[in-house]
């Protein structure tokens, strides 16, 4: 257990509204990631962070922004939610830095955009 929590765990929102998902870790790991999971696509990287205020885009970053103002929290914001952003969102942390990393995942947030 890498001490990862996500909030909220479930959310229903309306198209056009902003939504923020929170990932919190208790062990001060440097690397944090946001993925979305959709049937037939596995998990796809949205954004990741390699330190406080250091973030970069992943494969499917359009319509999403992130912020990391302190080590333990990594926030994912849907600036104006669309139905195509209905998904399950997973946060992950990397315990060891470097290319041979192992990532550990949070429990996920189910988001429904109506």
Partner 1 sequence: AQSVTQPDIHITVSEGASLELRCNYSYGATPYLFWYVQSPGQGLQLLLKYFSGDTLVQGIKGFEAEFKRSQSSFNLRKPSVHWSDAAEYFCAVVFNDYKLSFGAGTTVTVRA
Query: Could you list the residues that contact partner 1 (CB under 8 A)?
Result: 31, 33, 40-45, 48, 50, 58, 90, 94, 99-108
CB of 14 or CB of 54, closer to partner 1: 54
CB of 36 or CB of 113, closer to partner 1: 36
Instruction: Please answer whether residues 2 and 96 qualify as being in contact, where contact means their C-beta atoms are separated by less than 8 angstroms.
Output: no
Distance of closest approach, residue 40 Cβ to partner 1, in angstroms: 5
Distance of closest approach, residue 80 Cβ to partner 1, in angstroms: 26
Distance of closest approach, residue 108 Cβ to partner 1, in angstroms: 5
- Integer Cα distance of 77 and 83 in angstroms: 15
CB of 41 or CB of 79, closer to partner 1: 41
* Beta carbons within 10 angstroms of residue 88's beta carbon: 15
């Amino acid at each position: 257990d890498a001490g990862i929590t996500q909030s909220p765990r479930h959310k229903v929102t309306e198209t056009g509204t902003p939504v923020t998902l929170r990932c919190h870790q208790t062990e001060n790991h440097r690397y944090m990631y946001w993925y979305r999971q959709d049937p037939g696509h596995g998990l796809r990287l949205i954004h990741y962070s390699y330190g406080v205020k250091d973030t970069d885009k992943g494969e499917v970053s359009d319509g999403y922004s992130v912020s990391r103002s302190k080590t333990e929290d990594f926030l994912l914001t849907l600036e104006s939610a669309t139905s195509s952003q209905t998904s399950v969102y997973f946060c992950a942390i990397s315990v060891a830095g470097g290319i041979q990393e192992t990532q550990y995942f949070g429990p996920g947030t189910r988001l429904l955009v109506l």
